[in-house]
Chain A
Amino acid sequence: MMKKVALNGAGLLVALFAAFPVYWMVATSLKPNREIFSSTPRPVPAEPTLEHYREILTGNLIPGVTFADFFLNSALVALATVLLSGLVALLAATAVARFRFKLRTTFLIMLLVVQMIPLEALVIPLFLMIQRLGLYNTLPSLILTYLGFSLPFAVWMLRGFVAAVPKELEEAAAIDGASRAQTFRKVLFPLVAPGLVATSIFSFITAWNELIFALTFINDQQKYTLPVAMTFFFGRDDTAWGSVMAASTLFTLPVIVFFLLVQRRMVSGLVAGAVKG
């Protein structure tokens, strides 16, 4: 009995430590300024208000540019990354999961290795490439970069989904006279679609969260993605914590929702094969 109480107590402590910052972000964003800057912080907003949200959604974060503009830039970059990376990854995953060919193992090892390349070390050479391609200060520079970053993990993850589709289904379709393209489109694709969604979400999160490259490749303020805008916006004069927390909440919410949808795959993707149930 004592033991159970102790265990549950420890559980509550862990839950508090893990979730508190997220709670505090949302709570602060809903407090009027006098509560935020009072000398005794309140655990729960006494007079909840949406004024900070109104502020960032209607006002200009940087002269002439609103939160919505940054949000759109980020969404555009992330969606383009997702579409491209999903398409390319699906082709590659099909090759790896459905065919035995000479360089298959080599390719898989390479996938693992490139995932470990410290992307931070690639800022300088990619900056060079972007300059040479004339893409500096454009959103496509980021789409291209994030495509490279998200692809290896996407292929690694999708290959499991493709392999899970019974081969017999495709063979049956082939016997019924379906061409390879038809089999792919009508049999394999619908069955892999949930996996493709899960994989896409990871690519989305990668692109949505990225800061360093966006900071380096974009110069015009109206082309900033949300993370860059946030680092810029936050820390000017006295930090307006209410607005910063409201912006953080709006930035974080889609990620949390998406993440919770797919987190189980994350574990299996990363510790590939280590956990056998």
Chain B
Amino acid sequence: MTTLTEATGEAAARETPARRRRRRVDHLPYLLLLPCLAIIAVLLLWPLGQVVWMSFHKLDSVRQLRGDREWPWVGLANYAQILGDPFFRTVLRNTVLFALANVALTMILGTLVGLLLNRLGKKMATFVASCVMLAWATPALTGTIVWKWIFDDTSGLVTWLFNKLPDGLSTALFGRSDWTGYGWFNDPLMFFAILTLVVVWHSFPFIAVSVLAGLKSVPTELQEAARVDGAGPWKVFWSVTFPVLRPVFGILVVLSTIWDFKVFTQQFVLAGGTQDRSTFMLSIYSYAEAFSPPPKYGLGSAIAVILTVILLVVTALYVRMVLRQEDE
């Protein structure tokens, strides 16, 4: 069709190029977008609506999902059940505290490393950056498995290190001197500490590299001028570097928050499945309710909806930030 229009000589040639282009503001872009839109609609947006719909039903068997059995409508009963459950409040508290701690630690470590990379000599910076990339590139799954091995209760490196501590010191500090057989993952607090270590290890590289990229756009003259005026490194950072990096920081904080709120793989692998309820956070709680026998798809959906709503609020902030920057 288009080839034909272009080839039909004189009539088209007499039109101005602008008019021709306007006439061509045709269906082509929409046609090109169609497959993409269809996929996003069917695989992301439709399920998003579906999960809300499911959360209003009592769904306890796969046969209901297949459509062989009815879906009894229960209104807000699933939500009432969850919100009234003290366990949910524990899970919510765990999730929020975990996310806050991880975002803070990731941002601080990532920023420090970014600043450090900016100050190092070229060779050293390349070396350190390459190592940092390794942590980033490692899949969540295998990264977590390695950390689990490092904390193994018999031959793990950390167990060995703690055994190396002078017995007196170890007893005074932790109340035990023999660490062989100590279950690092049994105590919920210890579990969360190790999970934090794993998640921060995975996520600080992205922050470091982004901050470094941002730093490259800070004119060094500004920092030098501030230094000449007698500002210390702390002052230089807060009054020169930070204001320039602020938009980047905003986006990084929001992205980290979103990621840390829904940590799943690391937790699943570290806990060895979904049996240990004491360390549940929202995403794994939703999954366990839905898929651990007996299945409760409706209840699991309600938890998923709550998680989504929390993240939606954070996302709204993110989109506003990105749009503001595209405008600038």
Contact = CB atoms under 8 A, between A and B. Distances in A.
**Do A and B assemble together?**
yes
A245 B145 CA distance: 8
A150 to B, nearest CB: 10
A120 B264 contact: yes
A112 B29 contact: no
Interface stretch (B60-68, B72-80, B169-177, B187-195): B60-68
B51 interface: yes
Contacts of A110: 40
Contacts of A116: 258, 311-312, 314-315, 318-319
A124 B143 contact: no
A158 to B, nearest CB: 11
A101 B322 CA distance: 21
Contact of A275 (B139, B140, B217, B305): B217
B66 A179 contact: no
B106 to A, nearest CB: 13
A189 interface: no
B223 interface: no
Interface residues of A, number: 101
A263 B133 contact: yes
Given A17-B201, A113-B319, A120-B283, A275 B54 contact: no
B298 to A, nearest CB: 9
B131 A19 contact: yes
Interface in A26-57: 28, 36-41
Interface string B132-144: 1111111111110
B132 to A, nearest CB: 5
A174 B24 CA distance: 14
B150 interface: yes
B113 interface: yes
Interface string A7-38: 11011101111110110110010000000111
A62 B204 CA distance: 36
A116 B314 CA distance: 9
A252 B33 contact: no
B311 A125 contact: no
B262 A22 contact: no
Contacts of B268: 211-212, 231
A95 B291 CA distance: 40
A263 B252 contact: no
Interface string A98-117: 11110010010110111011
A267 B213 contact: yes
Nearest to B323: A109
A52 to B, nearest CB: 13
Contacts of A18: 131-132, 134-135, 201, 205
Nearest to A211: B265
Contacts of B135: 17-19, 21-22
A10 B205 CA distance: 15
A121 B65 contact: no
Max chain B Cβ within 10 angstroms of own Cβ: one of A11, A231, A244: A11
B29 A101 contact: yes
Given A8-B121, A266-B206, 20 more contacts: A14-B131, A19-B131, A39-B160, A99-B28, A110-B40, A114-B44, A114-B45, A116-B311, A124-B304, A125-B47, A129-B47, A148-B42, A181-B2, A211-B140, A211-B264, A234-B145, A252-B142, A259-B136, A275-B214, A276-B217
23 contacts: A18-B132, A21-B147, A24-B146, A88-B35, A88-B39, A92-B36, A95-B29, A101-B30, A107-B37, A113-B319, A114-B45, A116-B314, A120-B307, A123-B286, A124-B51, A127-B290, A152-B40, A211-B140, A227-B141, A230-B141, A231-B268, A251-B139, A263-B133
Interface of B: 2-3, 6, 25, 28-30, 32-33, 35-37, 39-40, 42-48, 50-51, 54, 62, 65-67, 113, 116-117, 119-121, 124-125, 127-128, 131-143, 145-147, 149-150, 152, 154-155, 157, 160, 201, 205-206, 209-210, 213-214, 216-217, 247-248, 251-252, 255, 258, 261-262, 264-265, 268-269, 272, 283, 286-287, 290-291, 297, 300-301, 304-305, 307-308, 311-312, 314-315, 318-319, 321-323, 325-326
